[in-house]
Structure 1
Amino acid sequence: MAASGNSGVERVLQKCHKCVEAGNFYEAHQMYRTVSFRYSGQKKYTEAIDLLYNGARTLLQHNQHSSGADLAMLVIEVLNAAKYTVTEDTTDKVVSLLRYMDPNAPERLPYLNAAIRWTMKVDNHFSAGHPDLHKKCGMLFWQEKNYVQARYHFLHSSDGKNFAAMLIEYHTSQGFTSEVDLFIAQAVLQYLCLQNKDTAHVVFLSYTKDHPDVENGPPFLKPLLNFIWFLLIALEGGKVAVFTVLCEKYQTSIQRDPSYREYLDKIGQIFFGLPPPQTSPQGFFGNLLQSLLVDDEDDKVATHMPPQPTATTPVKQESNVDLD
């Protein structure tokens, strides 16, 4: 998005600033709206966005929260109308206005949701919103010590390093010592459910390396950390048998949080080709063991099949993973 250089925009901004300096906030607000509608009607979207952005920022800085938020919402409307792509400049403007809003203002959340929906419309590769916008929102909420919101947005970003740093601060300031492994385990499992394996690796390695209460590893003293470590390794091989034995061996750790079973069901489907779990009196681990038995039967059938033509490409040998 181009910087404001249009002489017409500059003249309007000067008039509006004079109104603001005189305390005529209502008049300034209406002038911003009227002129921006005129620009939008003429498809001068860049001028409209520059005018609205400057107006929203000015009014918010003068504690005119409702009027400023109204203009900020109009910025999103113009971005949608113009089908603006997600760029560094557009996301900077969106998050800048979010920063100027009072954290407790009721208009803040609807504005943020509207901005996320805009990124979803113009880039349908990201069903939960563009990761760059989520990253910047995560950084903002982290600065505000709103760890819950920061965690949500980092989870939909690709910034595992800052997510890990935020989780460390979150745990050390508000968590119990006994929860040091729970904070990172849930984050990794949720990343995997979102099919973001690469960032899951980064956040785990950064968290376990930098957290003052986690000893050097792997292996780790806490079994749940070892489970996550082995799970990340198992993803590379995609072997159902390894995944099943891993979940069985660490079921005591997995049972510490009921949500882990649901996450692992989803991970099994995504990375290991398992079907959705059937209702069974044996529960989650019974289903996993049944999957292991089926996998073993498949291996037995394969050994009795007639010899197949050999491939010209050498087969990569799987490394054995010691789960002890």
Structure 2
Amino acid sequence: MPAVSSPSSRALNAILPLVASGQPYEAHQKARTFASRYNKSRQYDTAIDVLFQSARELLKVGQQGSGTDLTLFLLDVYESKGEVVNDESRGRLTQLIALTGSSGSWRKTIIDRSIAWSAKHGDCPAGDQDMHHYIGELLYKDGAFNIAEPHFLASGKRDSARLLADMMVEWSAAGGAPGIFALRGTLPYLQNGNILAARTFIFQFISQLISSRPNIRSPLQTSPLPVTPTSEITHTKEPLLNFCQLAVLTCQRANRDKNQAIRESWVRLCGTYQSKGGVLATREVRAVLQEIATLYFAIPPPRTQPDNPFGAMLSSMMGGGPPGGGAPVRRLLSPAGPSTPGLD
């Protein structure tokens, strides 16, 4: 292995050859010793370089335990330094997350700590959007759909919404009504005020679903149905799919209490579909729809509301605090008007 020339060269030239020669334990111990010294002397960048390169090489040779330990130490140094989220600091972590592999709990440990760091030192209280997207895509490719889902939702980027839609279509093919999977993507994005992601998700979902299952399109309306001069829906045999499309378009045109016609459209939409029973009529989903109604249409919630575990889960997923911490803060949102595509 060639000699390293950098402020951390003395340490790395002592550590990396040990990895290459099959002495991972000795390499791990030396890495911790050197990094501790640098950290204590506030040579944070040198400590970070030592830990990153040592962890990377250990993970490459299958030493997940040692590599994870050094990665967590790296995050401790990030905290000591006050390292902010940027392409370089994020990139080190995503490399190590990828190298950790899917066996055991090592990767989850690194992911959880990395997201917590990015939430504290980045711009998004739910964790860095790019990191969430990367992790979601990685887990999706590994077939860990249930673990990837909250990362795509927390990211909220258009690319995340598209991949979430592709994943949900694939997931629904293994069993389960497609409408439930459509709802799981649409409602959280709407609840978080992210119309652009909600719109991207549902239309990608419908497009991919019809490509794989063309018979789900309604025989009564085989071509897209215009709703506004710039928007249309694809009528399907699944009521939830139709509801999700209409819900997104209605929220997109909302202007809180300034557009009475759209407010009434939302009330009729929810009432019509909830009257048919099913998941939309359950207490948990009704509470989520009420929150969306308040957020977009300024429709006040009932004076007393039952506990809403589904809503609490979505709130927590989106970075909100747990219930019971005092009077809730009323969120305000000014969604896009008819001429703008939505919010990101």
User: Is the shorter-chain TM-score for this pair beyond 0.5, marking a shared fold?
Assistant: yes
Aligned partner letter, 1:208: I
- Relative to its length, the structure with more helix (as a share) is 1
Deviation for aligned residue 1:280: 8.5
Amino acid at match of 1:100: L
Quote the residue 1:27 is aligned against.
26
Give the match for residue 72 of structure 2. 73
Question: CA distance change for structure 1 residues 318 and 42 in 2, over 3 Å: closer, same or farther?
Answer: closer
Post-superposition Cα deviations, 1:138-189, rounded to whole Å, max 9, x if no partner, equal 01101111001111110111121222122222222x223xx11221122100
Q: What is the TM-score when the length of structure 2 is the normalising length?
A: 0.73
Alignment correspondent of 1:226 = 242
Q: Does residue 250 of the first structure (1) align with residue 248 of the second (2)?
A: no
Question: Contact 1:19 / 1:25 at 8 angstroms: preserved in 2?
Answer: yes
Q: 2: distance between equivalents of 1:96 and 1:253? A: 49
Give the superposition deviation at 1:76: 1.2
Classify the secondary structure of the residue corresponding to 2:8.
helix
> 258, 263, 270: which one pairs with 1:240?
263
1:271 to 268, 292, 296: 296
| AA in 1 matched with 2:34 | V
Q: Deviations over 1:279-314 (max 9, x none)?
A: 489xxxxxxxxxxxxxxxxxxxxxxxxxxxxxxxxx
1:175 is aligned to 175
Q: How has the CA–CA distance of structure 1 residues 98 and 250 changed in structure 2, closer, same or farther, with 3 Å as cutoff?
A: same
Distance 1:127 1:29, change over 3 A: same
Residue 194 to residue 280, structure 1, CA distance change in 2 (3 Å): closer
Corresponding letter in the other structure for 2:293? G
Pick 1 or 2: higher relative contact order, CA cutoff 8 A, min separation 6: 2
The 5-angstrom pairing of residues 53-68 of structure 1 reads 53-68=52-67
Stretch deviating more after TM superposition (139-148 or 31-40): 31-40
Aligned to 2:165: 164
1:145 aligns with 2:143: yes
Q: CA deviation at 1:67?
A: 1.2
**1:62 to 1:22, Cα distance in 2 relative to 1, 3 A:** same
**What TM-score does the superposition give when structure 1 sets the normalisation length?**
0.78
Which residue in 1 is equivalent to 2:325? none
Q: Is the 8 A contact 2:164 2:185 kept in 1?
A: no
Greater mean alpha carbon deviation, residues 40-49 or residues 196-205: 40-49
Q: Is the 8 A contact 2:72 2:110 kept in 1?
A: yes
Deviation at 1:132, TM superposition (A): 0.9
Q: What are the Cα deviations for residues 14-49 of structure 1, in whole angstroms up to 9, with x where unaligned?
A: 221222233322221111111112222333322222
Aligned to 1:202: 200
In the alignment, is the contact (CA less than 8 A) between 1:72 and 1:111 conserved in 2? yes
Match of 1:298 in 2: none
- Residue 156 of structure 1 aligns to a residue whose secondary structure is helix
Report the AA paired with residue 268 of structure 1.
Answer: A
Q: Is the Cα–Cα contact under 8 Å of residues 120 and 130 in structure 1 kept in the other structure?
A: yes
Letter in 2 for 1:255: G
Stretch of structure 1 that moved more, 262-271 or 231-240: 231-240
After superposition, give the CA deviation of every residue in 1:47-106 in whole Å (9 maximum; x if it has no partner). 222211111111122222221110010111122222222122322221221122242323
Deviation at 1:133, TM superposition (A): 0.7
Taking the aligned partners of 2:241 and 2:143, their CA distance within structure 1 comes to 26
Unaligned runs of 5+ residues in structure 1 are 282-316, 320-324
Q: Which amino acid aligns with 1:240?
A: R
Higher mean C-alpha deviation, range 145-154 or range 6-15: 6-15
Distance 2:338 2:129 in 1: 34
Any conservation in 1 of the 2:36–2:47 contact (CA below 8 Å)? yes
